[in-house]
Chains A and B, each alone.
Chain A
Amino acid sequence: MELFYSLLPELIRMVVCAVCGAVIVFGNALVMGYAERKLAGHIMYRPGPMEVGFHGILQLVIDGLKLMGKQLVIPKNADKPLFMLAPLLAFAPVFVPMLVIPFSDKIQGFDLDVGLLLILAFASINVLAILIGGWSSNNKYSLFGAIRSVAQNVAYEIPMLISLLAIVFMTNTFSLKEIAAAQSPVWFVVIQPLAFLIYIVAMVAETNRAPFDLPEAESELTAGFHTEYSGMSFSLFVLGEYANMFIVCSVATVFFLGGSSGIPLPYFEYTGIVWFLLKVYALMFFLVWIRWTYPRTRFDQLMNFCWKYLIPFSLVNLLLTVVLVKLI
């Protein structure tokens, strides 16, 4: 019993962190789902959702209800256990990285020494989910989407990791909080602009978004890996995608845009979250913006760009960083 009381604060902390993580995942999906459709509309000179609520603000609630009410169709020849597992696997791991993201100096679930590794490890599970989903659907479009996704994610993970590694060499830590704190005079985007650019490109490819959304290229593959998914199992994939967007944008904010630093507000240890979310959503806006600007790349262009440009450039960048860190 004494052990229980000594552990109680930590237990409460865990529960609060888990709940807050869930709130961020779902809230972010709501906000981004609405913002994406609204921005897509205005970029095409149309208003976007307008029917449900003031300027369609409740559209996502209605969509959620609709998706929940739909039947979960499982194809006859699908591998049923794997087919049901894939959306869960796409969605469940996105909660874990939320725990280590430093939203402000004091708002952070756990300050792990290996926070970056944790995020990257859990973000990669998404690829596995897509592969399982595409494979078990027993549908050629799904399979093609899954294969493309794996090829693309494996390729783009390399420049992403190398560009982040340059920052890790400069700060000498994997802890996100310390990396954010290391940028107090100048943000790393000024010192490492090339790494930032490479990270942004790799981040778009990692989240499977346009112009790198080949896994779900609707003009060629119907809907790619989630062709056979309906109702809630489909929306779990979408929730996972938006949560992954949030995570990669948070990592970009922590690594390159100074985390929660900004113009001081009262109680800045807590209110830093305002600046943090502002930066994250600015990046998310950028993701949406390029989605509705660029046409989808061809698959060979995608691969060539990664192997011929991103990886050599990130390696050179890493090398220069290492040399400079050693000299200074």
Chain B
Amino acid sequence: MKSYFSVLFTGGWSLIVGLKVTLKALFSPIVTCQYPREKLEITPNYRGHIDLVKFDDTGTHKCITCGSCMRDCPSDCIVVDGEKREGVKGKFCTVFTLDFTKCSLCGACVEVCPTKTLDYSNEYELAGTTREEFYYDLLKRVEERE
């Protein structure tokens, strides 16, 4: 008989506590982001697909076409090619493509790059309607970037 009433009071009190929690939440500022109109700042640590780094001293990437990334890639999605050119030390990179449909974002290429010219991009809006949209020409991307 005692518990018959005590349950009522403890239960009733817990209900009031619950109401207080939601009332506080009701008047708290919202925490969600209205995505297409507002965008959150992406942390620099974000690991998107790979991109060539544009260095300030040379104004372009520092790829020496060693092919380490191509060999290390477990998914075989990087193609690098280069040619010998007059007046340029080493090889000149002519092809650097990434097949992002196969990339597993493991980052082995970034770790192996001897000149630190590969890095993760902050790109996250990656929706596309065709497969070809995900074949990235990284050389073109580094030129288009300012």
User: Once the chains bind, are A45 and B8 in contact (CB under 8 Å)?
Assistant: no
Contacts of A289 in B (CB 8 A): 19, 22-23, 26
Chain B residues with CB below 8 A from A41, complex form: 30
Interface string of B1-41 (1 = CB under 8 A from A): 00010001000000100110111011111111010000000
Nearest CB in chain B: distance from A48 CB, A: 9
CA distance A39 to B27 in the complex (A): 10
Question: Which B-chain residue is minimally distant from A48 (CB atoms)?
Answer: B30
Q: How far is the CA of A177 from the CA of B27 in the complex (A)?
A: 37
**B34, A50: Cβ atoms closer than 8 Å:** yes
Instruction: Please state if B30 and A309 are interface contacts (CB–CB under 8 Å).
Output: no
Cβ of A190 within 8 Å of any chain B Cβ, yes or no, is: no
Q: How many interface residues does A have (CB within 8 Å)?
A: 16
**Cross-interface CB contact of A293 among B8, B18, B30, cutoff 8 Å:** B18
CB neighbors of B among A249-299 (8 A): 289-290, 292-294
B21 cross-chain contacts in A, Cβ below 8 A: 293
Chain A residues 14 to 57 lying within 8 A of chain B, measured CB to CB, are 39, 41-47, 50
The answer for the CA separation of A55 and B120 in the assembled complex, in Å, is 37
Q: Which of B8, B19, B25 sits near A44, CB closer than 8 Å? A: B25
**What sequence of 0s and 1s flags, for each residue 297-318 of chain A, a beta carbon within 8 Å of any chain B beta carbon?**
0000000000011000000000
Interchain CB contact under 8 A, B30 and A43: no
Interface centre among B22, B25, B28, by most chain A C-beta atoms within 10 angstroms, is B22
Question: How many cross-chain pairs have Cβ atoms below 8 Å apart between A and B?
Answer: 37
Complex Cα distance, B29 from A44, in Å, reads 10
Option from A47, A292, A308 in Cβ contact (under 8 Å) with B22: A292
Task: Count how many chain B residues have C-beta atoms less than 8 Å from C-beta atoms of the other chain.
Answer: 17
Closest B residue, CB atoms, query A39: B26
Neighbour of A290 across the interface among B19, B25, B26, B27, CB < 8 A:
B19
Q: Give chain B residues whose Cβ lies under 8 Å from the Cβ of A44.
A: 25
Contact pick for A309, options B8, B15, B25, CB 8 Å: B8
Question: CB distance A294 to B15 under 8 Å?
Answer: yes
Contact B34–A43 (Cβ < 8 Å): no
Shortest distance between the CB of B10 and any CB in chain A (Å): 13
Please report the C-alpha to C-alpha distance between residue A311 and residue B32 in the assembled complex, in whole angstroms. Answer: 44
A293 vs B21: C-alpha distance in the bound complex, in angstroms?
8
Please, how many angstroms separate the alpha-carbon atoms of A41 and B34 in the complex?
13
By a CB distance below 8 angstroms, the chain B residues around A309 are: 8
B25 to A: closest C-beta gap in Å: 5
Nearest chain B CB to A281 CB, angstrom units: 15
Bits for B81-116, please: 1 = Cβ < 8 Å to A, else 0: 000000000000000000000000000000000000
Alpha-carbon gap, A200 to B7, bound state (A): 19
The 7 closest A-B pairs by CB, nearest first: A46-B32, A293-B22, A45-B31, A293-B18, A43-B22, A47-B30, A42-B26
Query: What would be 25 A-B contacts, judged by CB atoms less than 8 Å apart?
Result: A39-B26, A42-B25, A42-B26, A42-B30, A43-B22, A43-B26, A45-B25, A45-B31, A45-B32, A46-B30, A46-B31, A46-B32, A47-B30, A47-B34, A50-B34, A289-B19, A290-B19, A292-B22, A293-B18, A293-B21, A293-B22, A294-B15, A294-B18, A308-B4, A309-B8
